[in-house]
Amino acid sequence: MTEPVAVTGLGLVTPAGEGADATWEAVCRGVGTAAHDPALAALPVDFSCRVPLSREALDRRVGRTAWRMSRSAVLAVLAAREAVHDAGLDPGTWNGDRVAVVIGCGMGADAAREEQARRLEEQGADMVSALTVPLIIPNMAAGEVTIDLGARGPSLAPATACASGATAVAVARDLLVTGQCDVAVTGATETAVTPLVAAGFWRAGTLSRRTDAVAGASRPFAADRDGFVLAEGAGVLVLERAGDAAARGARTRALLVGCGSTSDAHHPTAPAPDARGAERALRTALADAGLAPRDVDHVNAHGTSTPLNDAGEAALIARVLPHRPSVTAPKGVLGHSLGAAGAVEAALTVLTLQHRTVPPVANLRAPAPGFDIDCVTGEPRRQDVRVAVSHSFGFGGHNVVLALTGAS
């Protein structure tokens, strides 16, 4: 059993708005944030879940360094600032040598990449920005967060597709328990809502095609689900060793008590139909925490609203957790922010533990026939959640599960 790690701060920038409170309120309302997207108007699927802040508004919040950052880096910096403030830490006084930053990203800055490619094709090499490479490399969000916070410890940028955020949290936990840092600022960011990415997912058959009812398009675990809604966002958590957090009198929102990571070794994009790789990740996380499956009260599901993922995940939950813990799936409200999703959903799991409330799965009346799982629907459910798990699965067969408990 690994030493528990305290979650002392949260920061979120999502399609529900800026700030963890805004996102929590939105998922509890259970209303989808998807809307028609002018940038995707020429595509068969013309809707997405975007952060409702213009680039100009985001730049004003970040300040004078924003001009050199991609949108994904800007979101990461804003979420990290909120998380550090929420933790009661001051980058002006901490020992930056002992602060790690682990910010995952599944795709990199795709909008910047597509814009510079367009300039090259239409206007020639002289019009390509000299900042192109630092704008598009996927580790730059982590780099900009370290610069912004003066964090000079380990800086890492895990890329495990849609499991990147959860992978980042697990890696940050390991840095803490092995003594390589005293504070870890960790999470993920993604801004891949672009015509090329959307067209690629549409061609792969993974996007919802409900263009006539976009707010209800993402419907995890529903019988008539037909794909996910592409989204953007960032989520950041501050982690500290539980003893260190207590010693400085910090508020502990929740404890990260276990992590499990496995690979399907099955297919580049399709999940293994028996979900055995995901099952091993879940069992590994629980064993790491010294818990048994029967101890789990709540599951924050990956729940993408795709036919394959939801069928496999529902079977996994029913098989390993037959006592029917409550299940939610935030992508019904927020869409699928790819690499950022695992971090956003880890933060929401912390809030579920803290508020003793499980948000509903948006756009769901009841799980599909044969899905023997207890999805919360309609209204938030009051529940004394003591142990929760958050699932994240990604292309390439990546499976990551985080196990969390309440602070007390």
Q: Which of the residues 162, 181, 259, 375 is marked catalytic?
A: 162
49 noted as active-site residue: no
List of residues 6+ apart from 289 with CB closer than 8 A: 1, 2, 257, 258, 403, 405
302 noted as active-site residue: yes
In contact, 126 and 209? CB cutoff 8 Å: no
Q: Return the half-sphere exposure (C-beta side, CA atoms, 13 A cut-off) of residue 259.
A: 23
Taking CA atoms, 129 is separated from 60, 125, 190, 192, 338, in Å, by 22, 9, 21, 20, 27
Give the integer Cα–Cα distance in Å for 264 and 256: 24
Give the integer Cα–Cα distance in Å for 23 and 235: 10
391 noted as active-site residue: no
List of residues 6+ apart from 154 with CB closer than 8 A: 100, 101, 102, 175, 180, 181
- Please choose, from the candidates 339, 350, 125, the residue with its C-alpha nearest in 3D space to the C-alpha of residue 253: 350
- Please choose, from the candidates 200, 198, 204, the residue with its C-alpha nearest in 3D space to the C-alpha of residue 229: 198
Q: Which of the residues 181, 298, 302, 391 is marked catalytic?
A: 302
Give the integer Cα–Cα distance in Å for 37 and 45: 9
List of residues 6+ apart from 314 with CB closer than 8 A: 221, 367, 368, 370, 371, 372, 373
Phi, psi of 253 (to 5 degrees): -75, -40
Q: What are the residues facing 254 on neighbouring strands?
A: 7, 406
In contact, 97 and 181? CB cutoff 8 Å: no
| Catalytically annotated residues | 162, 302, 336
